Amino acid sequence: MENTFRQKTITYFTDTAKKSRLLKYPCLAGISVALAFYYMGMHFQTNGKRYASMVFVAVFFMSSCSFSFAVFAERTGFTGAQETYSAIVETSGVSLAVVEPVNPMVKEILEEENVFFFYD
């Protein structure tokens, strides 16, 4: 029976570590890194359908979402090709932010003799 990738990797690094005591900890790190990448690759390989379905749901949600930008709507067929972003804004009654100068209200300060005090 043929050895798996995991068994081959462990055998290679342990044999290298036995030959030289200085390589004991680098070989341990090498085993950890090699097997971590191996198991991550196997995870994505075995769960391919799950990730494909998540991508399709995200793509369809972003393409037909009501929060989509109006310029991209003509590609989906919701608006005519002649309508552009500026035409949609002009006809929809939406006003863009306008900068207007602020006019503070000037209030007269009452002098001491013009103030009425109501005491019981």
Please give the full DSSP string across 48-117, using - where no structure is assigned: HHHHHHHHHHHHHHHHH-TTS-GGGHHHHTSS-TT--HHHHHHHHT----------PPP-PPPPGGG---
Q: Which residues contact 10 (CB under 8 A, 6 or more apart)?
A: 31
Please give the Cα distance from 8 to 80 (Å, whole number): 62
The 10s digit of each residue's pLDDT in 22-60 is 999 999 999 999 999 999 999 999 999 999 999 999 888
CA 118 vs. chain centroid, Å, equals: 63
29 or 117, greater pLDDT = 29
- CB-based contact 70:92 (threshold 8 Å): no
Residue type for position 13:
F
Q: What is the pLDDT of residue 78?
A: 52
Q: Enumerate the domain spans of the chain.
A: 1-46, 48-96
- Interval 7-25: pLDDT, tens: 999 999 999 999 988 999 9
Average pLDDT over residues 62-84: 57
Is residue 20 within 8 Å of 41, Cβ to Cβ? no
Confidence of residue 2 (pLDDT cuts 50, 70, 90): confident
Look at 109 and 46; give whichever has higher pLDDT: 46
- Residue 91 has which token pair? 């006809």
